[in-house]
Each structure stands twice: as structure tokens, then as C-alpha cells.
């Protein structure tokens, strides 16, 4: 007689893109006892948190979607943020994942107790689970600038991820601190509607400016009418993005050609003085390449000023730079990014024997093949250290990682394992390979970025996306410590 499958209890921390992905796959596999802990009042993750003017994805929308829930009705090649958020919300509803989300449930502690994980919220509620999955995202915790006098500013001041839509912007003097992808999108959108836009640039970025027109009715009809055509455009977009990876990963003709194309974009800047101020001193693509519909056009407007002097302090009426100039502003926008290395934290995690995640990561975050940590059984994470998040679709990454997690969960159901965690030796070997390959990548050519973590380690995947998928699809039993059910 066939042994019946066990039914695991699974906690997923976060109801963003990754959490919804795993929830949908669990449901499809017949696993129904899972809970998504979401500290906010709605799902969506980074696409819920960020609603600033001009927000859009910089990865083709045809590729920024689940393979099991493709959307034929994307409005543009690079979809607006609200549309992406609505897409994930729809998938959560259609798959039943929405019904398993606990809203307003921020996780404070995760503790290994009597062979299972105990998850405790900030409200004090606790529950036991067989598996815990971190789906907390990487661009989630806002990073605020350390500026003297910021709290003295008399007008509205807010982080781009905490946009105050009650603040009127038209006809006002707006200061934008930060010129990364978010800053570029905000400046592009607001230029022309504000009385003056003052852009405070600490470091210039390389920008690829391209059009983002609406898809025609015919295009949308074709995608709805012919699912195979819709699937073809998904894979075509994936191949296009993955062809870009060769320029990122190794020197050669592809990198030289790509960098030449990016440098040519600066020809859009007619004023040689402004062009020089907008020219980075590092190689193109060393930092995340900014994809913009009009940043270079925006900064050349008469009502937009790019300030490159360092900020000395913030005063009630504006921002004073190191040259003594006071740049008067009515509103301050802090487009200063996120703490991309927090991962599961600030939730505290303690595994068997009292090992904490902070102790395990004292020398910097590490994860075996991006998804699991030695010493923490039955724990997996999305977008863990060294995931291939550099100008790639995080949805595709999440699907590959979710499939690897599900493979171990299925083995647990079949009673082949009771606990599973990667060995320290396998994790060390993985990082030896990573460290050997990283110097060839463009990210190691000499720049600072949110890709770089503790000790100067680049926390990206130094190989092609195809290798990432095949790596996660192959389970190496020797790389894991397992126990079997009693």
C-alpha cells in the first residue's frame, strides 16, 4: 500500500512577488496549510510600497511575469508600477493565495523549538511550522540620508518609498536627493509640472534612454487570442535580456559594444559642461544601468537644475551645499534607495543550538546557491545573497528558487527527509567558485553600488541565468545535512 503524503505547515514571510509565487505553486501541488505573514494591509511588496510619480519596471513586462499566469494585457513594454501591483494582486486572488495572507502581521522572531519553527509576530501571536520561507524582498527597507538639519526642513519631506500623495507638487520648487533609477524616474515624470526641479547628484549614473509607447489594440488582441504567440514573446524577451548578461559577466566584444552604446547616450546632452557633470567615472554597467524614458531630456530643461556640489546641511527653506549656496525648495524627495542587504532582518532568527542568523552572518550574508543557510534546517529564502538580480527579471529568479524549495518540500511529504539544511562545506565551496568567477564581471571593475555588501563582496551571481536555473534544478544530496522521520 502506498504511504500517504504528509501535509506540511509552511510559513512564508512576505506577501510580495516571491511569496505569491510560492503560494501559487504550493496550491497547485496540493499543499494548502500555509500562511503568508504580511506586515502591511495589502499584498504586492515593493510594488505596493513604491507609488512615486513615474514608477515603472526597467525589465520588459512580457518577461516580468509568472510563466503560470501570463498577462496578455500589459499596456507598455515597461509596465507602470500600479499595473504591476494590480497584476500580482490578481494572481493572488485567482490562485487562492490571497485567502492565506495574514495582514498586519509583522514577524518579530523565528525560533527553532522542539524540531519545528515557531513564528512570533510583533503582536505576540505564535504558531509552529515545518518550514519557514523568507520572501521579504531586497528593495524594501528605505535608506534615509544622514543629513544635518533634515528634521528642520519646514516643508514636506519624504522618502520615495513613502510618497505622500496628499502633497501638491504642481508649481512648487521640488528638491530630489538621489539620481539612481528611482530618482531618474521621478525627475523624468515631474519635469515640466513643477516650478523648479533641483536634482542633487552625489554620483552620476549611466543611463540608457529609450521609448516606452503604449501597446496597440491589435497587439493586445494578438496576445489574448493566441497564447502561443504570447508565450513566444515571453521567451523572446527572456532571450533578449539574457543576451545582455554576457556583457555583464566577462570581458569581450559584447561588453565593449554594450558600453559603447551606453556612452553614446551622453550625446543627448548638448551642453558640454552638463555632459561632463553627468559622466560617471566608472565603467558602464558596473552599477545597475538606469533605463529611462527621458532623464537626459528632463535635466536639460530650463526649469531643472542638476547640483553636483556636496550637501552641507538642510535648512528650513532648502538645501545648502558645500559651496555655501542655499537651494530653496518647497518639497524634498529622498530618492536614496534601500538597504538591500537586510534580507529577513530586522526579524530575529535563532536556529538549533542557539545559533542566530546575525551570528551566522557576522562576516556578511551567505547562502548555499542563494536559497539556504547552514545551521538553519527547513529554512529557505528568496533573493538570498548572490542571486542574479542585476538588470534581470526577479520574477524569473523567484520561480527558479520556488521550484527548488518545492522539490525539498515534496521530499518531506514523501517522508524521505524530516529536516534539511546545506552543509558548511558545500556553502564554502559555492563561495569559492563565486569568488573565483566574480573578478571577470563588470561589477568588479571598481565602483560602489547596492550590489556590494560587507567587506566589499559583490552579492550577485557571476554566471549566466541558464546556469542559475540548472544549478537550482539539480539537487545535490551530498551538499545537504538531512534527518529522516522517526
C-alpha torsion 442→444→446→450, nearest 10 = 90
Give the other-Cβ count within 10 Å of 180's Cβ. 20
Predicted confidence (pLDDT) at residue 2 exceeds the cutoff of 90? no
Are residues 121 and 167 located together in one domain of the fold? Answer: no
Are residues 244 and 268 located together in one domain of the fold? Answer: yes
Are residues 159 and 300 located together in one domain of the fold? Answer: yes
Instruction: Provide the 3-class DSSP secondary structure of residue 423.
Output: coil
Distance CA 240, CA 232 (A): 12
Give the other-Cβ count within 10 Å of 94's Cβ. 11
Give the other-Cβ count within 10 Å of 403's Cβ. 15
- Which of 298, 319, 334 is the last residue in one of the domains? 334
Q: Count H helices, E strands: the chain?
A: 13, 21
Segment 331-355, tens digit of pLDDT: 999 999 988 787 888 899 999 999 9
- As a whole number of Å, the end-to-end CA separation of the chain is 19
Q: Would you say residue 363 lies in a domain?
A: yes
- In this structure, what CATH number is given to the domain that contains residue 113? 3.50.50.60
User: What is the model's pTM?
Assistant: 0.96
Are residues 268 and 289 located together in one domain of the fold? Answer: yes
Q: Would you say residue 2 lies in a domain?
A: no
Are residues 129 and 111 located together in one domain of the fold? Answer: yes
Are residues 382 and 454 located together in one domain of the fold? Answer: yes
Q: Would you say residue 377 lies in a domain?
A: yes
Residue tagged 534601500 (cell numbers): 338
Segment 89-116, tens digit of pLDDT: 999 999 999 999 999 999 999 999 999 9
Instruction: Provide the 3-class DSSP secondary structure of residue 87.
Output: helix
Into how many domains does the chain fold?
A: 2
pLDDT of residue 1: 53
Residue 405 grid coordinates: 524549495
Distance CA 485, CA 440 (A): 45
> Considering the chain, what is the average pLDDT of its residues?
95
Predicted confidence (pLDDT) at residue 317 exceeds the cutoff of 80? yes
Q: Which domain holds residue 65?
A: 10-141+339-483
Q: How sure is the predictor about 450, in pLDDT bands with cuts at 50, 70 and 90?
A: confident
- Chain-centroid distance, C-alpha 90: 20
- Chain-centroid distance, C-alpha 183: 16
Q: Would you say residue 84 lies in a domain?
A: yes
CB 73 within 8 A of CB 220: yes
pLDDT of residue 462: 96
Residue 338 β-bridge partners? 142
Give the other-Cβ count within 10 Å of 399's Cβ. 21
- Which of 288, 315, 334 is the last residue in one of the domains? 334
Contacts of 122 (CB under 8 A, 6+ apart): 106, 107, 108
- Which of 294, 310, 334 is the last residue in one of the domains? 334
Q: How sure is the predictor about 41, in pLDDT bands with cuts at 50, 70 and 90?
A: very high
Residue (of 475, 275, 446) closest to 368 by Cα position: 475
**Sheet with 379-381, edge to edge strand ranges:** 101-103, 34-38, 10-13, 131-134, 379-381
Q: Would you say residue 36 lies in a domain?
A: yes
Are residues 372 and 283 located together in one domain of the fold? Answer: no
Q: Would you say residue 3 lies in a domain?
A: no
Residue 112 β-bridge partners? 117
Q: Would you say residue 1 lies in a domain?
A: no
Q: Would you say residue 4 lies in a domain?
A: no
Residue tagged 522539490 (cell numbers): 407
Instruction: Provide the 3-class DSSP secondary structure of residue 399.
Output: helix
Predicted confidence (pLDDT) at residue 178 exceeds the cutoff of 70? yes
Are residues 347 and 263 located together in one domain of the fold? Answer: no
Are residues 240 and 310 located together in one domain of the fold? Answer: yes
Are residues 223 and 176 located together in one domain of the fold? Answer: yes
Are residues 363 and 408 located together in one domain of the fold? Answer: yes
Are residues 273 and 154 located together in one domain of the fold? Answer: yes
Amino acid at each position: 500500500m502506498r504511504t500517504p503524503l504528509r501535509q506540511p505547515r509552511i510559513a512564508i514571510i512576505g506577501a510580495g512577488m516571491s511569496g505569491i509565487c510560492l503560494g501559487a505553486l504550493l496550491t497547485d501541488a496540493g499543499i494548502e496549510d500555509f500562511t503568508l505573514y504580511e506586515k502591511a494591509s495589502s499584498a504586492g511588496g515593493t510594488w505596493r510600497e513604491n507609488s512615486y510619480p513615474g514608477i515603472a519596471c526597467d525589465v520588459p513586462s512580457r518577461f516580468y511575469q509568472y510563466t503560470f499566469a501570463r498577462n496578455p494585457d500589459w499596456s507598455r513594454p515597461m509596465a507602470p508600477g500600479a499595473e504591476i501591483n494590480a497584476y500580482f494582486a490578481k494572481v493572488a486572488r485567482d490562485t487562492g493565495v490571497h485567502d492565506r495572507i495574514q495582514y498586519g502581521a509583522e514577524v518579530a522572531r523565528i525560533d527553532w523549538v522542539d524540531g519545528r519553527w515557531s513564528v512570533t509576530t510583533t503582536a505576540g501571536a505564535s504558531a509552529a511550522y515545518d518550514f519557514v520561507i523568507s520572501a521579504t524582498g531586497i528593495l524594501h527597507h528605505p535608506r534615509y540620508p544622514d543629513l544635518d538639519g533634515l528634521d528642520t526642513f519646514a516643508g514636506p519631506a519624504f522618502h520615495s518609498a513613502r510618497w505622500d500623495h496628499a502633497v501638491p507638487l504642481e508649481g512648487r520648487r521640488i528638491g530630489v536627493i538621489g539620481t539612481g533609477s528611482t530618482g531618474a524616474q521621478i525627475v523624468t515624470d515631474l519635469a515640466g509640472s513643477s516650478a523648479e526641479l533641483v536634482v542633487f547628484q552625489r554620483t552620476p549614473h549611466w543611463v540608457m534612454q529609450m521609448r516606452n509607447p503604449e501597446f496597440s489594440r491589435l497587439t493586445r488582441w494578438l496576445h489574448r487570442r493566441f497564447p502561443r504567440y504570447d508565450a513566444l514573446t515571453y521567451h523572446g524577451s527572456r532571450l533578449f535580456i539574457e543576451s545582455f548578461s554576457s556583457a555583464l559577466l566577462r570581458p569581450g566584444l559584447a561588453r565593449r559594444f554594450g558600453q559603447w552604446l551606453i556612452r553614446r547616450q551622453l550625446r543627448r546632452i548638448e551642453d558640454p559642461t552638463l555632459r561632463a557633470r553627468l559622466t560617471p567615472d566608472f565603467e558602464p554597467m558596473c552599477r545597475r544601468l538606469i533605463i529611462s524614458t527621458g532623464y537626459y531630456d528632463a535635466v536639460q530643461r530650463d526649469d531643472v537644475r542638476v547640483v553636483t556640489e556636496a550637501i552641507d546641511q538642510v535648512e528650513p527653506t532648502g538645501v545648502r551645499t558645500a559651496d555655501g549656496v542655499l537651494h530653496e525648495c518647497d518639497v524634498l524627495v529622498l530618492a536614496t534607495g534601500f538597504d538591500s542587504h537586510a534580507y529577513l532582518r530586522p526579524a530575529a532568527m535563532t536556529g538549533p543550538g542557539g545559533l542566530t542568523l546575525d551570528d551566522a552572518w557576522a562576516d556578511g550574508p551567505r547562502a548555499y546557491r542563494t536559497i539556504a543557510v547552514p545551521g538553519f534546517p527547513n529554512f529557505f529564502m528568496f533573493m538570498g545573497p548572490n542571486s542574479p538580480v542585476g538588470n534581470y527579471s526577479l520574477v524569473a529568479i523567484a520561480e527558479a528558487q520556488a521550484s527548488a524549495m518545492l522539490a525539498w518540500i515534496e521530499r518531506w511529504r514523501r517522508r524521505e527527509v524530516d529536516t534539511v539544511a546545506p552543509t558548511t562545506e558545500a556553502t564554502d565551496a559555492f563561495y569559492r567558485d563565486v569568488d573565483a568567477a566574480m573578478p571577470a564581471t563588470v561589477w568588479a571593475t571598481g565602483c560602489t553600488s547596492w550590489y556590494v555588501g560587507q567587506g566589499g563582496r559583490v552579492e550577485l551571481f557571476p554566471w549566466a541565468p541558464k546556469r542559475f536555473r540548472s544549478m537550482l534544478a539539480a539537487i545535490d544530496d551530498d551538499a545537504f545535512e538531512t534527518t529522516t522521520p522517526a
